[in-house]
Amino acid sequence: MVVFWCACGITALPLAGLFALVANTGVSGASWALTEAFAGATLQAHVLRLGLWPQLVLFAWGISFVVLTVMRARITLMVAPVVLAAWVAVSAYCQFAMRAAMAPDGATLADFAALTPGILAQVVATAALFGYFRDGARPKAYYNRG
Mean pLDDT of the chain: 92
Confidence of residue 108 (pLDDT cuts 50, 70, 90): confident
What's the pLDDT tens digit per position in 27-52?
999 999 888 888 888 888 899 999 99
Q: Which residues contact 82 (CB under 8 A, 6 or more apart)?
A: none
Domain ranges for the chain: 2-145
How far is the C-alpha of 140 from the C-alpha of 10, rounded, in Å? 23
How far is the C-alpha of 54 from the C-alpha of 72, rounded, in Å? 26
- pLDDT(146) > 80: no
State the pLDDT at residue 134: 93
Counting Cβ atoms within 10 Å, is residue 74 exposed (0-12), middle (13-18) or buried (19+)? middle
What's the pLDDT tens digit per position in 89-105?
999 999 999 998 888 78
Q: Which residues contact 60 (CB under 8 A, 6 or more apart)?
A: 83
Vertex 92: Cα angle to 91 and 96 (nearest 5): 115
Confidence of residue 19 (pLDDT cuts 50, 70, 90): very high
How far is the C-alpha of 111 from the C-alpha of 33, rounded, in Å? 30
